[in-house]
């Protein structure tokens, strides 16, 4: 039952490994940011992606 709930997350049955890969990449980008403004720029970019996904729902 847990696997069916996980596959329906955000209304699509995408591969959980690819979702984790995206999260790992995001965290790596933040850790590798050389300056605070670059870190904030990356966060704002991801927030825009999240907002776009919710608009499509």
Q: What is the pLDDT of residues 2-39, one digit of tens each?
A: 444 444 445 555 678 888 899 999 999 999 999 999 99
Domain ranges of the chain: 2-55
What is the C-alpha R_g of the chain? Answer: 14
Query: How far apart, in whole angstroms, are the C-alpha atoms of residue 32 and residue 51?
Result: 24
Residue 46: is its pLDDT beyond 80?
yes
Half-sphere exposure of 26 toward its Cβ, with a 13 Å CA cutoff? Answer: 16
Q: Which of 6, 41, 11, 10 is nearest to 26 (CA)?
A: 41
Q: Which of 19, 22, 21, 25 is nearest to 7 (CA)?
A: 19
Predicted pLDDT of residue 14: 60
The verdict on pTM exceeding 0.95 is no
């Amino acid at each position: 039952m847990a696997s069916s709930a996980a596959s329906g997350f955000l209304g699509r049955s995408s591969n959980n490994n690819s979702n984790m890969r995206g999260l790992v990449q995001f965290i790596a980008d933040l850790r590798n940011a050389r300056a605070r403004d670059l870190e904030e720029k990356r966060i704002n970019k991801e927030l825009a992606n999240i907002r776009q996904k919710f608009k499509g729902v």
